[in-house]
Amino acid sequence: MTLALVLHDWRLVERIVGLTNRLGCALTRLDLHLRDRLYHATIDVTGPPDALRRLDAQLTRLLNDDKEMSR
C-alpha cells in the first residue's frame, strides 16, 4: 500500500513508524519533503490487508489531530 500523507508536524513520522510496527506491517519506503510549510510524506507499507486498512484509518485520525494541533 502506498499512502500520500500531508503532515503539519514532521515529528509525526515517529507515530507513523510506531503504528505501522504495532499493526504488524512493515515500512519499506518513506519520503518526506517540505513544501509550502507542509511536509508531504509518501510511504510504502506491506502487511495483511486488515492491518493495512486499520493503519490507513488510524493515520487519517492522526492527521486530523495534527491539523487541529497546528492551528
Partner 1 sequence: MPDPADSTGSQLILDILSDEGVDVVFGYPGGAIMPLYDALHRHSIRHILTRHEQAASFAAGGYARATGRVGVCMATSGPGATNLITGLLDAQMDSVPVVAITGQVRTPLMGTDAFQEADVTSIAAAATKRSVCVRDVTDLERALRAAFRVARGPRPGPVLVDVPQDVLKAACPRFNAFAARPIAVANERPGDAALSEAVELIRRAERPVAIVGGGARSANATQMFRELCALLELPHTATINGLGCAAPHDPRFLGMLGMHGWKAANLAVNSADLVLALGMRFDDRVTGRPDKFARNAVVVHADIDASEFNKVIPVRVALRGDLRHTLAHLLQRLAELEHRPRFSGWAAQAKALGGPLPADRTPQGELSATEVLDAFFAVAPDDAIVTTDVGQHQMWAAQRARASHPRNFLTSAGLGAMGFGVPAAMGAQLAFPERTVVAIVGDGGFQMSLPELATIKRYALPVKILLVDNRRLGMVRQWQELFYERRYSATDLSDNPDFVTIARGYDLRAERIDDAGEIRDALERFLVAREPRLLHCACFPAENVWPLIPPGATVADAMECRPGENLESEAIPA
Q: How far is the CB of 43 from partner 1 (least distance, A)?
A: 17
Q: What is the DSSP letter of 34?
A: E
- Residues near partner 1 (CB under 8 A) are 9, 11, 14-15, 18, 22, 53-54, 57-58, 60-61, 65-66, 68-71
Instruction: Compute the distance between CA of residue 31 and CA of residue 53 in angstroms, rounded to an integer.
Output: 21
Q: Which residues of 14-50 are buried (b: 16+ CB within 10 A; e: fewer)?
A: ebbeebbeebebebeeeeeeeeeeebebebebebeee
Q: How far is the CB of 13 from partner 1 (least distance, A)?
A: 11
For partner 1, which is the closer residue by CB, 42 or 70? 70
For partner 1, which is the closer residue by CB, 46 or 70? 70
